[in-house]
Structure 1
């Protein structure tokens, strides 16, 4: 059989995209690893069967250029597209800069849609599979993460709709509902600040600590997560696969527990329980 191919967005070192790219590479796939700045994929550089591409999912010209490269190298097919690129975000809803939140949705929702549209002809030709990395945050009301959670649940709803719409073309769609995983994502908020007029200044340190990953949450080892996810993807799974620490608990709680019980647990330790 010809070598199968996969394109993954958001592959900066030590993130989920990086781990997925490395796992696919180790399993013998032709890997197209992308991120906005190719220099941030240093750990994937020079690996056999890995092509690094600069790709900002909000830039149509870069998406088109990446699709052309992949088509030229594979003969016009792509077996797997993994929409992983995304931006994390913490801020009380009343303190949101709406331009900033619009940018979050551009990256987390409309970017993956644009990438999927561009690569659809290659995936249809291959009878391939599209994967969206979503989040358990879309199933729970976690204070300070409302805008981010809304973006991740939005792309999951789009993915589930796409799963039906692509059925006649034999293209599978899978959402990876991701729990806590140990990545560099917990290091992005070292300078977290609330607006000067925020109602939540008395608990700013608590909010900042949670943004920085100091929330007492256990996190699954990155490569353990990636091994489970790649196995599920390559078996042709569709629908949803819950993976990562707390994923099972959130799946159960959001399905069966009263909202009041979930709310009490989610507010604990956020600072709201002290106000």
Structure 2
């Protein structure tokens, strides 16, 4: 479906059905924005294409794929893009002492380098429209999410990158919003494909690790549609002066999802709050008890 005169446009990465990107695409579409939905396999976007959205193939870890997507979007929009949502991401749940570096690099390629590459590639289209970049981060960026050190590191990188990007693009009228996302229903986060490697020091609490794999789906989890509704409302809000943005306009920081409010409050209290909460919530005291029992058994021999 062609873009109507004056119609806003949004490009969203990672729009596979069942995730945040898909929910955002549906919500933006419902608000009258022309959605450019992308995924590595465009076949999964067929239903959205039938609704009138533009469906494009895009692998954010591949330079040629990004270049081709940029060319197609530029032709479609006449050289402008109002909103870029960097949503494509990869989960990574493994103890820090059990990581495989090739696996780690793959996660960074998607979660960090992909975001950087997209912002660099589409900057010209965003500058032309004085647009908005929305980088989907996570509470993991500021939280010691036990067994998620790699994922936390990628989201922390996105937050730091976005803060600097915001100042660099400010003279060109491009805004950067960081979505500090809490627990949200997601098909990807529901998968339990990771396992502890043989000999892991955490094999003692294998049950704790396995519960952690789906933590985000079982702890104050917010419906994906509700999250998308709130984010889109903020993305389409009018501009307000800096001090008033968080209440009335497009905020620099968007906090939503399960536990987001508590996390925001805790940022004012100190990191010790996060440490105590996550340590106990994940179940690490169980490992302490196991280790104490092992020491007791050794002394009895």
TM-score class, shorter-chain normalisation, is over 0.9
1:213, distance to aligned residue in structure 2 (A): 3.6
1:267, distance to aligned residue in structure 2 (A): 1.2
In 2, the alpha carbon distance for the partners of 1:270 and 1:258 equals: 17
> 1:253 maps to which residue?
266
In 1, the alpha carbon distance for the partners of 2:9 and 2:158 equals: 23
In 1, the alpha carbon distance for the partners of 2:216 and 2:112 equals: 27
1:109, distance to aligned residue in structure 2 (A): 0.6
> 1:68 maps to which residue?
71
Aligned length: 272
1:238, distance to aligned residue in structure 2 (A): 4.2
Give TM-score, length-normalised by structure 1.
0.95
Larger C-alpha radius of gyration, 1 or 2? 2
Q: How does 1:1-275 map to 2 (within 5 A)?
A: 2-48=6-52, 50-189=53-192, 191-213=193-215, 216-235=218-237, 236=239, 237-257=250-270, 259=272, 261-275=273-287
Which SS does the other structure have where 1:256 is aligned? coil
1:43, distance to aligned residue in structure 2 (A): 4.0
In 2, the alpha carbon distance for the partners of 1:91 and 1:72 equals: 42
1:269, distance to aligned residue in structure 2 (A): 4.2
1:271, distance to aligned residue in structure 2 (A): 3.6
1:21, distance to aligned residue in structure 2 (A): 0.5
1:27, distance to aligned residue in structure 2 (A): 0.9
In 2, the alpha carbon distance for the partners of 1:177 and 1:230 equals: 14
Q: 1:246 to 1:79 in 2, by over 3 A?
A: same
C-alpha deviations, 1:149-174, integer Å up to 9, x for none?
11011011111101000011001110
In 2, the alpha carbon distance for the partners of 1:27 and 1:215 equals: 28
In 2, the alpha carbon distance for the partners of 1:251 and 1:214 equals: 17
In 2, the alpha carbon distance for the partners of 1:156 and 1:271 equals: 27
- Runs ≥4 in structure 1, deviation > 6 angstroms? none
In 1, the alpha carbon distance for the partners of 2:223 and 2:216 equals: 17
The answer (yes or no) to whether the contact 1:5–1:29 under 8 Å persists in 2 is: yes
C-alpha deviations, 1:135-159, integer Å up to 9, x for none?
0011111110111011011011111
In 1, the alpha carbon distance for the partners of 2:217 and 2:30 equals: 33
5+ residue gaps, structure 1: none
